[in-house]
Structure 1
Amino acid sequence: MKTSTELQRYSLNGETMGTRYTALFYAETELDTRTISHSLAGAVARVDQQMSTWKPDSDLNRLNTAPLQEWIAVPEELATVLSAALRVSRQSGGAFDIAIGDLIDAWGFGPGERSITELALDGLPAPTRRSTSTALIVDSQRNQVRKQAPLNLNLNGIAKGFGVDELARCLDRYGITRYLVGIDGEMRARGSKPDAQPWAVAMEKPCRGVREVMGVMELCDAAIATSGDYRHWVDVRGQSFAHTMNPATGAPLCNALAAVTVVSGSCMLADAWATALMVLGETQGPRLAQERAMDALFVVRDGSQFKEISIVGGQLQAQVQTR
């Protein structure tokens, strides 16, 4: 068995999904990382090719343009993510909904050069509520999907987390047991560092235009994902609209939450639930997190300050005021 002094720190990274992936891990010295690096790049490339709305030939876009009432064969990974998305949608009362591609495009957050204008804002259609769970049927046993109504699916709220899980599974296959992998702010850790210390993940302060650390979260055999209103937004008529859509209103979020962070065993689920809780808002979000015994941190805008609501194992912790 290797001791901590015999383990070497490795760092691999590359481009994916319009951002970068990283893999930090400890393993035996003089490890040939070329094969591992190739496998990591391949893992996230497959996720991107299957689930991107920005690639016209992606499996997701092929599904979006497929005829209704026909079974469409999809890759196993895509079937897995679609099934998980529908499950979170049901459990969150529809707060997480992948059938919002039309809304995302209409507000200028999708592919192409479109941007929202005052004229376009006036012409946006009223939301039509339908259950994605009944409009989309996923057969995970046969890896096939059937649309029963027109749907424009968008997996931005879950695909990145699944990509992180794929990075983790890649390192698992190489027998690596001490790692921290991530895509942008979604991270997953296994084991601890050789000195028995957990992996430290910086929590970004939810302020637009600046990158500032608000705190640090320690991870060991867990994944973390954050949804917020401070990275992507548009300004129309002097008002800012964040990129996360509220399926109930057919418009971007309008609540006091600045960010929600979820810790889970799966980064895919942490990603989806961070979005769902963000949509539910500062009252319903913490309530559902408690009911489902989740680990979640809610950052609420309170004037010029922030208030943190922490849920650990479903238990409400003391609320903290921060600047």
Structure 2
Amino acid sequence: MFKQLSQLVLMACLSAGLLTGCSFSEKQEVQSLFGYSMGTSYSIKLVAGLNESRNLQLGIEGVLSNINSRMSTYLPNSDLSKFTEAPLDQALPVDPKTSIVVAKALEIAKTTDGFFDPTVAPLVDLWGFGPTPRNNEVPDEQQILAILDRVGYPAVSVDLNSHNLKRSEIRELDLSAIAKGYAVDEVANYIESKGFSDYLVEVGGEMRFSGQKPNGSAWRIAIEKPVPGEREPYRIIDVSDAAIATSGDYRNYFEIDGRRFSHSINPRTGYPIEHDLASVTVVMDSCMEADAYATAFSVMGKEAALELAERLNIAVFIIFKKEDGFDSIQSSQFTRKFGAL
């Protein structure tokens, strides 16, 4: 009888352990989660037990789905789609998350003198990098000038108290260069709310790191050599408790008669970038901010990017093109964090 009772208790405990962990502790190892959301992929590595990590997946996808439903330019009922249809000078109530991201986007647009501009969407679409299918044609000057009249962040305002957006002129919002970073931050916050402190979160290439691996070593990241079609590391750094975003012109572009047209559009000129900056990696506490600044630095070019990074005390690593390959420069804050070149 006692033996049977013991077996029943053990079986009950094992069954409960599948849901709650019972009184057993799982081995803490680096677990991996993968999925798709926001039009891209995500991957997460965290130090946890196997069942613990699996129980997080649904919540993580809920976080990403909620952000996408509000900030997508493809979904007709998203906050951004409603903003495009809203009457001029009329306040549009939006989700608090949307207002936070738009406010930060407008702040960084002002700080970067418009090299980052969340109203650049019509230009991106004109050049074939938006929702409209690409025809690999170069727009003429009159088309570009006409679209430039619909670009300019000062015509957009946000009220963080009432969570309202307003536009004084015809404008569209595209948060693709900041929303992925925000999503990384939100997923990281969700993971921490569940009691985990050692993790790596990646959404569409933007990342945030916390803590360390089970053996006490730091997370490692390879900054890629900016060569199309290759995945070769240019530099490897150890990271903990930081967010990283990279922007470059070497993955999304089209060519006509040997001339490359990058997806990185200068909102001030209406044309794709043509300077020698190939990629820029930004390290900050906030992935949302790192994402936006990486875009701005990529557009403005290496000299202006390094100057602004020094002024704002941002850790930046820049790879630029040379006739015989690539070279790199970095901000003093990057040197303090990761060492000299």
TM-score (norm 2): 0.86
Match of 2:274 among 254, 257, 261: 254
- The Cα offsets for residues 39-60 of structure 1, whole Å up to 9 and x where unpaired, read as 1011111122211223333221
Question: What secondary structure, in the 3-state scheme, does the structure 2 residue paired with 1:169 have?
Answer: helix
- The structure-2 alpha-carbon separation of the partners of 1:111 and 1:129, relative to structure 1 and needing over 3 Å to count, comes to closer
AA aligned to 2:249 is: D
Aligned residues: 315
Q: Secondary structure at the match of 1:87?
A: helix
**Distance change (3 Å), C-alpha of 1:306 and 1:190:** same
Per the alignment, in what secondary structure is the counterpart of residue 57 of structure 2? helix
Q: How does 1:166-315 map to 2 (within 5 A)?
A: 166-313=186-333
Paired with 2:80 and 2:150, the residues of 1 have a C-alpha distance of 20
Judge conservation of contact 1:223–1:266 (CA < 8 Å) in 2.
Answer: yes
Q: Is the 8 Å Cα contact of residues 106 and 116 (structure 1) preserved in structure 2?
A: no
What's the counterpart of residue 10 of structure 1?
31
Partners in 2 of 1:129 and 1:149 — Cα distance? 9
Question: Distance in 2 between the 1:56 and 1:232 partners?
Answer: 25
The structure having more radius of gyration, on CA atoms, is 2
Deviations 1:213-241 (A, max 9, x none): 22222211100000000110011343111
| 3-state SS in 1 of match to 2:208 | strand
Instruction: For residue 68 of structure 2, give the secondary structure of its aligned residue in structure 1.
Output: helix
Structure 2 vs 1, CA of residues 200 and 66 (structure 1 numbering), >3 Å: closer, same or farther?
A: same
What is the CA–CA distance in structure 2 between the aligned matches of 1:243 and 1:114, rounded to whole Å?
11
Give the CA deviation at 1:86: 0.6
TM-aligned CA distance change 1:312 to 1:42, over 3 Å: farther
1:97 to 110, 113, 117: 117
Is 2:41 aligned against 1:20?
yes
Q: CA deviation at 1:122?
A: 5.5
More displaced, 6-15 or 61-70?
A: 6-15
Counterpart of 1:111? 131
Taking a change above 3 Å as real, the CA distance of residues 215 and 105 of structure 1, as seen in their structure-2 partners, is: same
Q: What is the SS of the residue equivalent to 1:47?
A: helix
The question of whether the paired residues in 2 share the 8 Å contact of 1:208 and 1:230 is answered with yes
**Closer, same or farther in 2 for the Cα pair 1:32/1:6, shift >3 Å?**
closer
Partner of 2:12: none
Determine the C-alpha separation between the residues in 2 that align with 1:150 and 1:256: 33
C-alpha contact (below 8 Å) 1:226/1:271 kept by paired residues: yes
Instruction: Check if 1:124 corresponds to 2:143.
Output: yes
Question: Aligned letter for 2:92?
Answer: I
- Structure 1 residue 169: Cα displacement: 0.9
1:40 lines up with 2:63 in the alignment = no
| Distance in 2, Cα, partners of 1:8 & 1:301 | 40
* SS at 1:251 equivalent: coil
Q: Is the 8 A contact 1:96 1:276 kept in 2?
A: yes
Per-residue CA shift, 1:238-291, capped at 9, x if unaligned?
311110110121111111100010000000000000011111111111011111
Deviation at 1:72, TM superposition (A): 0.4
Q: Which moved more, 1:230-239 or 1:220-229?
A: 230-239
CA distance in 2, matches of 1:236, 1:53: 28
Larger strand share, 1 or 2 = 1
Whose helix proportion is higher, 1 or 2? 2
Q: Which runs of 5+ in 2 are unaligned?
A: 1-25
Question: Structure 1 residues 45, 254: closer, same or farther in 2, change over 3 A?
Answer: same
Alpha-carbon spacing, 1:319–1:107, altered in 2? closer, same or farther (3 Å): farther
Provide TM-score, normalisation by structure 1: 0.91
